[in-house]
Amino acid sequence: MTQIQFIGTTPNDLIQEIKKEIIPELKEQLKEEFQPKEPTQYLTRSEVCEMLHIDRSTLHRWKKDGKLIAYGLGNRIYFKRNEIEELINRNKLK
């Protein structure tokens, strides 16, 4: 960005410089930040048990202990795939 001296600069000149330099940069940053994310994939209890190679009692205990967050819809319980993968990766580093 070029330097602007405010001495002798009119407010309109300043506004034009801001529009020319800053606004395109902000648009680029916002474009990168607000890219559509892939939708959240929800897994059933059976799918999570199969993925982690555990039985339902272990899954229930982990949910009760707060290791996993369960999401309910009616009588059904779901888990977010990205949270399960995050748990796996977090424990892989230990």
- The identity of residue 13, as a single letter, is D
What gap in Å lies between CA 85 and CA 69, rounded to an integer? 13
The pLDDT assigned to 62 comes to 93
pLDDT one-digit tens code per residue, 17-68 = 888 888 888 888 887 777 767 788 999 999 999 999 999 999 999 999 998 9
What gap in Å lies between CA 38 and CA 56, rounded to an integer? 28
The pLDDT assigned to 24 comes to 85
Contact 84, 47 (CB under 8 A): no
